Structures are given as C-alpha cells and as structure tokens.
Structure 1
C-alpha cells in the first residue's frame, strides 16, 4: 500500500504533463486528479456492494434521499437533494416502484402531485448498505486525525464552492 509521502499515479501523470508542457503550472492536477481518483475508487466499491441488491448507484441515491427524509417527497424534492436530473428521477423512481423498493402515490391535497416513499424492502437496502459504506469510508480515512479530516473537509468545501457546488 502506498504511504502518504510516496509518489503515486497522479504524481507520475503530473510529471508527464509538466515535461510535455513545461511552461504551464500543473499543480492543480495534483489536487483535482486525486479527488477524481478517490471518487472513482469509492464509486466502484459502492457499485460492487450494490450489485447483489440489483440496485445502481443512482437508484441508491434516490433510496438514500427518501431514507433521509422524515416524510414522503415529491420528485422535485428528490432532485434537489441528489445530483440527478428530473428526467432521471422519473425513470429511476418508476423502476424502483416496479421492483417494490419505493411507492409512488398521489398527494391527498393535490392529486397532480406524486409523492415518493420507501417501502420496507427499499428501507432494508439502505439499512444494509449505509453502515457498510460508512465502514468502507472510515477505512479510507483511517490514516487521518480528526483535525486533518476537518481541515480536509473545509478545504474541499472551498474547492466545491469555486465550482459552483
């Protein structure tokens, strides 16, 4: 396993870019490529873990949004709490409904509004996967102190904000 100070794949890529374009500052690659690499690895692990449930990462995001809510949600509310588009949410919720993982029902106050709510089976998927995912994330961060984690979180929030997120 790589130690924190040992050169990694991103160092190599950054060095290669620097050799190819010596007049450009390649330092941003060292940060953003690592973020991208970490996200890719984390998503790959999540995909493998969700496979036995027959649930995609996007479907799990929808189930997670519903699990976090203390009430049924409109599709637009799910859009606002995930990184998915409205069209994606519609398609995903129809699939999850057919598979019995969520329920789609009309609002009693306004029949035009469709409310989404987890079924017991949908809740079970989240109940099984969330602790597993948190344990996996904890292993990934285990080399950092609590102060380092807080600093990293603060710095990443600044980077995310610079991208408009």
Structure 2
C-alpha cells in the first residue's frame, strides 16, 4: 500500500490494497473518490438514522417532512414522489404514519378534486425546524477537518461528478 502524504490510511486505502493483491493491474483509482463518497454517505446516513430513530422517524419520513417544509405550501402526493424520488406506495405508507402522528394533514380541495393536498401541521413544522439544524450540524462535523476553501473546492468538484450522473436540473 502506498503511503499517503499524511502517513494515514483509511478504509479505501485498505480496500484498494486488497484488490491490488487479488487482481493485480486492475485500476482501482476511481475508488479514491467514489468509494470514499459512498463510505462518507453511509457513515453520515447512519448518524442521521440514529438521531431520527430517537424521534421515532425513518429517513424517508423525514425527507418527506423536509420536502413539505422547503416547499412551504401543500403538495400533491405525486409532487412529493417527484421531489423525494420515492415510489408512490412508499409515500402513501409514510403519509399514513405521519398523519397518525399529527405531523401532516391531507385535504381534498373543493374546486380541484384531482388529488389530495398534503401539508405540514404546526407540530410537523416545529419538528422539522428542530431536527434539520441538528442534521446540518452533523454534516458540518463531517467536513470540519476541511478549510472553507477546501470544502468549497470539494463541493464544486463533486457537483461536476453529480451533474455527469444526474443531469436533471432541479
């Protein structure tokens, strides 16, 4: 295994060394970025999941609540499906549970019966407004070893990769 500039090795360094032993000559250099992004995502995701579990929420449920909060107006279920990129059946289950918990409410508009509108309740707004800053703080802690300039540069570079894979403009 090549020594890193700082002399430290991480999960990806070990993974690449192991593959180098099993399949010599295979270029695993994309793992320098991709495997690290996946590993960081998993670790941060687990931290988010633990915090949400303490509140009795799943990540999918919180993403739904957060989507409604960002929209700041009621959304149709199909709009929530589009925004969260979750299957319709999952959205229905989440809405049922969140409605029972008093965090969302569904209404059928009098003039437009094409679909149910979903809105956050006051309790739902309060919950998102309390939990989202905690999520941001966990993410800030994850990148705290980077300077502001390094974080900006990394974010810009990852944006290039993301647009390559997901060219849909949101």
**TM, length-normalised to structure 2:** 0.88
Runs of 4+ in structure 1 displaced over 6 angstroms?
A: none
Deviates more, 1:96-105 or 1:55-64: 96-105
Alignment-derived partner of residue 111 in structure 2: 109
After the TM superposition, which residues 13-162 of structure 1 pair with which residues of structure 2 at under 5 Å, given as runs? Answer: 13-162=15-164
CA contact (8 A) 2:49 2:58 kept: yes
Q: Give how far 1:28 is off.
A: 1.0
Q: Distance in 2 between matches of 1:61 and 1:153?
A: 21
1:159: how far off?
Answer: 1.5
User: Can you list the C-alpha shifts for 1:99-153, whole angstroms capped at 9, x where unaligned?
Assistant: 2110011123311311110111211221211111111111111121222111111
Q: CA RMSD in A?
A: 1.7
* CA spacing shift, 1:142–1:4, aligned 2, 3 Å: farther
Q: Contact 1:53 / 1:125 at 8 angstroms: preserved in 2?
A: no
TM-score normalised to the size of structure 1? Answer: 0.91
SS at match of 1:22: coil
Please state whether the residue corresponding to 2:33 is helix, strand or coil.
Answer: helix
CA shift for structure 1 position 4: 8.4
